[in-house]
Amino acid sequence: MATLVSQASSLEGAGHWLQALHCLRNHIRSGHVVDAEIWHRVGRLHQRLSNVSQANRAYITALLLDPHRPRTCNNLAILELGRLNADDAERWLMQGLACQPLQLDEDELLQATACDLRLFQLQPDLALHHVEHQLGRRESVIALANRAVCLHKLARLPEAVIAQERAIRLHLAQHAPSLVDRAFVDLVGQPCADLTSSMQLQTQLLNLALYKLTLDAQDSVGLRLSLAGTSNDEDFWKDQRRCQTRWDGSFCDQLILWDDQGFGDTLQNLGWIAEAANRVGSLRIWLRPALLPLVKECLFVPANCKLEILHPQASPWGEGAAQIGFFFLPIVLRQWLPQTEPRSPYLKLPTPTKPQEVQDESMGRRIGMVWSAGHHKAPQPERSARVRDVPKEAFFELAQVWRQQHRATLVSLQLEGHEDQPVQSLIQSGVLEQPLRSPDWLRTAEVLASLDLLVSVDTSVAHLAGALGIPTVLLVSAPADWRWGQAGNQTFLYDAVTIVRCATPGDWSQALQQADKEVTNWFSKETRSS
C-alpha cells in the first residue's frame, strides 16, 4: 500500500491531480492506517481540483488526527479566502501561527497567506509587515513579489518595480540560470524549467509591466512586457497553436479578435477595430453575447469585419488564423499613445427604445451614478474592485446636494448594491431611479444617452460612457489603474471624460471635492450656453 502513496506523490508532482487522488482513495479503502498527512494530501488534491467542500472535510479530518499542523491550517485559510470568508480565513491563519515552533517553510507559507488576507482586507500596510517578517528570515520569490504588490497598493511605485525585478531574477536563478542575464522583454513567451515555472515567470513579467506602466503609462518596456499576459496560462504552453497564432500587428490574411478580459477592456478597445481591419484581409470579431447587440447598433464595423458570438469553450487559436485578445489590441498595433489628443466618441448613441427616455426639457437634468465596481467571486478581482469603490455615505450626501442645487434626477447605472443603505432608502423615496435590471449593454447605452452627466468610479460603464461621448466625471483611487495615469484630469482614451483623483491610497475626500467642483462647473457652463 505504501506504493500507492508513492505513486500519488509522483502523479501530483507531474500535475496529474485526479489520478493522484484515485491512488490515495484506494490506499484509504484498503483498510490500512491513514494518518493526518494522508488526509492533508487528499485535501490538497481536492483543493487543486477546485473541490472546495471535499478539501475542507479532508483538512478537518487531518486536524482531528493531529491539531499541530500549520500547513493544514494555512490551506484552510486559503480555502476560506477563496470563498471570500475573511473572518474564517483569519481564524485558521491564527491557529496555524500558534503552532509553535514553526519551521522556516511553514512560517513562510503562513506569512504569505497573511499578506494575501491583509490585502483582501484593504490593509496593505499590515500586509507589508508580514512580507518584511518573511524577508527578514529568508529572501524568496513569493516574498519579493508580495512586497511589490504591497508597495504598489501603497503608491510606492519605484520601489514596487525594484522588488518585482528582484523577484524575477531570483525566479530565474532558481529555475533557469541560463536566462538570468537576458533582458526582461526577451523573456515574454520564453519557457522556463517546467510548465509551472514557465507560467509563474510570465505572471511575474506581467506584474512588472503593471508596476512600470502605473509609474509611466507610456513606458515602452512596460507595454512590451504586458504581452506576457498572453502566455501566463496552461493553454499557451500545452497547445502550440496558441503561441504560433498570436498576432504581432503585421498584415495577415485573417485575424480573430476575441473578447478576452473584462467588459471595460473590450469597450475601451473597440475604438481600434478600424485600425486592425486596415491590416488584415478579413477580421472576425468574437464577442460575448451581452456585447453583440450594442456593437451591432452603435459601432461602425468595416466591410471586411464579421461579428460572431464568443462561446464559453471557444479556442480562437484552433481556427488556423492569427488571433489576439481585445486587451492587447492597442499594444500590438502600437497605438497606445497617451500624449496624443483625446479620442472622439467611436460609438454612436443608440436609438431609444423607451419613449420616456427621449430627452427633452420636461425631463429636467439627469445625473447618472456609479459608486461601486461590482462584486467578484475570486479574492484578487474582488479586492481590486473594493479599492475602486467610493464611500457610499459621502458619495450620496454629495449627490443629494447636486440634486437640489441643479434640480436633477439621480439615476443609478449599477446592477447590484441597491439593497444597501442609503441606496435603498433613496430608491424607495423616489430620489434615485433604478432603470437597469439585467446586464444588457445596449440598454445601458440607452440609459446613458438619456443623461446630462455621469459621475462614476472606474468601471466598464465609465468606459461605455466615454466611448459614447457622454460627459463623465471619473473618480479614481490612488494609485489609479495604469491606463488613467497618475496625474492630470484628462485621458487620451476619451475626450468626454474628466478625471478626479484620490490624493493618497484610501482617502477619497479630495476626489469627492474635485467631483463636486466639476459637477457644479458642468451645470454652470450648460446654463450659460443654453
Instruction: Return the domain boundaries, the chain.
Output: 153-238, 242-332, 355-529
The H-or-E segment that residue 252 falls in is strand 252-258
Burial profile 259-288: b = 16 or more Cβ within 10 angstroms, e = fewer: bbebbbbbbbbbbbbeebbeebeebbbbbb
User: Can you give the pTM of this predicted structure?
Assistant: 0.92
Phi, psi of 493 (to 5 degrees): -70, -40
Predicted local confidence at residue 2, as pLDDT: 62
10 Å Cβ neighbour count for 438? 8
| pLDDT tens per residue, range 333-356 | 999 988 888 899 999 999 876 544
Predicted local confidence at residue 353, as pLDDT: 62
3-state helix, strand, coil split of the chain in percent (to 5) is 55, 10, 30
| pLDDT tens per residue, range 213-262 | 999 999 999 999 999 999 998 889 988 999 999 999 999 999 999 999 99
CA angle 207, 376, 47 (to 5 degrees): 75
| Chain-centre distance for alpha carbon 158 | 22
Predicted local confidence at residue 525, as pLDDT: 79
Q: Looking at the structure, give the CATH architecture of the domain made up of residues 355-529.
A: 3-Layer(aba) Sandwich (3.40)
Burial profile 13-38: b = 16 or more Cβ within 10 angstroms, e = fewer: eeeebeebbbbbeebeeeeeebebeb
Phi, psi of 282 (to 5 degrees): -140, 145
The H-or-E segment that residue 308 falls in is strand 305-309
Give dist(CA 384, CA 379) in Å, integer.
9
- pLDDT digit string (tens) for the chain, length 530 residues: 568 888 998 998 878 899 999 999 999 998 877 899 999 999 999 999 999 999 999 999 999 999 999 999 999 999 999 999 999 999 999 999 999 999 999 999 999 999 999 999 999 999 999 999 999 999 999 999 999 999 999 999 999 999 999 999 999 999 999 999 999 999 999 999 888 899 999 999 999 999 999 999 999 999 999 999 999 988 899 889 999 999 999 999 999 999 999 999 999 999 999 999 999 999 999 999 999 999 999 999 999 999 999 998 889 999 999 999 999 999 999 999 888 888 999 999 998 765 444 444 445 899 999 999 988 888 888 888 899 999 999 999 999 999 999 999 999 999 988 988 889 999 999 999 999 988 899 999 999 999 999 999 999 999 999 999 999 999 999 999 999 999 999 999 999 999 999 999 999 999 999 999 999 999 987 665 55
